Structure 1
Amino acid sequence: MDVSEGVELCYPQLLNSSCRGLMRPHSQAVLFYTLLSCITVLTVTLNLLVVISISHFRQLHTPTNLLLLSLAISDLLVGLLVMPVETVRFIETCWLLGDLMCALSYIIGFTLTSASVGNMVLISIDRYVAICYPLQYSSKITRSRVEVCVCLCWACSLLYNGLILKDHLRQPDRYNSCYGECLVVINYISGTVDLVFTFIGPCSVILILYTKVFIVAVSQARALQSHIIMVAGGTAGVTAKKSEKKAARTLGIVILVFLMSFCPYYYPSLAGQDISNSASSWAIVSWLLYFNSCLNPLIYAFFYPWFRKAIKFIVTLKILEQDSSQANII
């Protein structure tokens, strides 16, 4: 069988039944492996620091931090289980892990991504109640209720994505045209449902709740300004303006990162098309989606003073000292 230069069969012994692909130059493959491996390591490291901090220090065992812990676990698993597989899928021209792993790779990736989005929604609800109803917060947001919500979030993510990918799970090779492929196609109907439940719905909830939080935070800052203006003079106005800008910046970052990560993936559904990993843009689209797991700990945890202090404990190995879990880091 004639094969042009630079083209290689996935399984040469199968001849026409095997896929062919253009091999990447060695230098390009090394560059991609290095870049994507660095993103993977960074994702795992940042989320692992959040998991260790919240799990170890007693002061951090609060309902809010339990939500951050759940988000960090979902993003940590994306870094451990999904990103390495996607790195190989992106760089290599053949799928060499078999049909079972082909099916599992997508159900795991989609489930973890959905769980991550669900946790972001729960965090926005928590922040909304904390800022808008501070007096009722302790009675409305209890540890037991948060634990139930987190469990439901994970269970619904698994069940929901199992339904979306049920045909792919039953017959992973149904869309493959030859050996060495791992194709998944989400039809327009399933894609539309997924668009609503995983993108439009969560994005709307996050945007509405954080906007309300921003409005209340600004009104509180202005109320505080009016009380202390006689004492602090002009500096009170400057402080209030800084608080407003900080709140607006945080809101903007949360929404912008969410849209940048998820919009490209759901563009086919918005355009009335099927979602398929055979598209030439799939690698960029999927990595943008998964890169959100690297950014989440920076957005939701890194700006907390307790997290930066916890990192110092971990990096300097003070966390290994006796009774370090009782340390005052808040």
Structure 2
Amino acid sequence: MMEIQDQVELCFPHLLNTSCRKPTLHWSEAVLLNILLSSISVITVVLNLLVIISVSHFRQLHTPTNILLLSLAVSDFLVGLLLMPVEIFRKTACWVFGDTICVFYCLLSSTIICVSVGQVVLISVDRYVAICHPLHYLTRVTVSRIRLSVCLCWLCCALYSSYYVKDVLTQPGKSKSCYGECVLTVDNITASVDAVLNFSITVAGIIVLYLRVFVVAVSQARAMRSLVTAVTVQILKPGSREVNILERDC
């Protein structure tokens, strides 16, 4: 009886020694997890699809900033459409699609996440140039340059992700400990380099750029306030032409 029960709990009962066990989530936990993640996935897909359709359809929205937002929306759309449903399946069921699909999923997920991070950096640079160098923005940031930057971002992220999952690409199924799972494991050096590139340097660069934008925006606001105050004082100065007109009209 115990042997039959153990076979039922296996992903592949005919592989007694090498098969993974089925996820042991309680049915209420599985239903709650599926509803929560499915709702987030649907909302992500719908909202980003609206952005993609809007920016793509209306030519008036084909500005450098909107093109960056479009690329970010595409990556987030793929997260909601592909990555999140697959993650739901991985958490609640056994992996039955084979090693090839697992390798493709690992490469795709790594690429999409890298692209999302890269697009956030490009948007930060775009806002930095627009706020800190407004007179040179139209000449430095053009639609053609932004499109080239977006294409290079996707290409570089694909190449980087290929290196990141090189062990899985060269030897599919190497990381899994049993049949019925899809996992991605990397060595400590690769994980450390990825953490530095995709998190530490990226976050530090974004923080520095936005701090610079904040300082410049505050200084510009103070300059505008001082200019408005000076103009108001000049207009209301006794004996000025504007004051004489106001007194004559009264």
TM-score scaled to structure 1, two decimals?
A: 0.67
Mean Cα displacement is larger for which, 178-187 or 16-25?
A: 16-25
Code of the aligned partner of 2:214: F
CA offsets 1:16-47 (integer angstroms, 9 cap, x no match): 22112453222221111111000000111111
- The separation in 1 between residues aligned to 2:134 and 2:8, in whole angstroms, is 64
CA contact (8 A) 1:118 1:153 kept: yes
Q: Would you identify which runs of 4 or more consecutive aligned residues in structure 1 move more than 4 Å?
A: 3-7, 230-233
Code of the aligned partner of 1:177: S
Code of the aligned partner of 1:227: L
Matched, 1:120 2:126: no
- The separation in 2 between residues aligned to 1:127 and 1:136, in whole angstroms, is 13
- The separation in 2 between residues aligned to 1:3 and 1:19, in whole angstroms, is 15
Matched, 1:141 2:141: yes
- The separation in 1 between residues aligned to 2:13 and 2:140, in whole angstroms, is 63
Q: Which residue of 2 aligns with 1:201?
A: 201
Mean Cα displacement is larger for which, 155-164 or 222-231?
A: 222-231
CA contact (8 A) 1:95 1:181 kept: yes
CA contact (8 A) 1:40 1:84 kept: yes
CA offsets 1:100-127 (integer angstroms, 9 cap, x no match): 1111111101100101111111111110
CA offsets 1:234-257 (integer angstroms, 9 cap, x no match): xxxxxxxxxxxxxxxxxxxxxxxx
- The separation in 1 between residues aligned to 2:166 and 2:220, in whole angstroms, is 49
- The separation in 2 between residues aligned to 1:4 and 1:226, in whole angstroms, is 80
CA contact (8 A) 1:67 1:119 kept: yes
Shift of 1:200: 1.4
CA contact (8 A) 1:95 1:182 kept: yes
State the structure with bigger RCO (CA 8 A, min sep 6), 1 or 2: 1
Q: Which residue of 2 aligns with 1:170?
A: 170
- The separation in 1 between residues aligned to 2:21 and 2:91, in whole angstroms, is 15
Mean Cα displacement is larger for which, 98-107 or 151-160?
A: 98-107
Shift of 1:163: 0.7
Provide the secondary structure at the position in 2 that maps to 1:20.
coil
Code of the aligned partner of 1:98: G
Going from structure 1 to structure 2, the CA distance change for 1:11 and 1:59 (only over 3 Å counts) comes to: same
Q: Percentage identity across aligned positions?
A: 53
Q: Which residue of 1 aligns with 2:99?
A: 99
Shift of 1:220: 0.8
- Structure 2 residue runs without a partner (length 5+): 234-250
Report the structure number with the largest CA radius of gyration.
2
Q: Which residue of 2 aligns with 1:74?
A: 75
Count of matched residue positions in the alignment of Structure 1 and Structure 2: 232
Matched, 1:157 2:161: no
CA contact (8 A) 2:37 2:88 kept: yes
CA offsets 1:287-321 (integer angstroms, 9 cap, x no match): xxxxxxxxxxxxxxxxxxxxxxxxxxxxxxxxxxx
CA contact (8 A) 2:103 2:172 kept: yes
Provide the secondary structure at the position in 2 that maps to 1:163.
helix
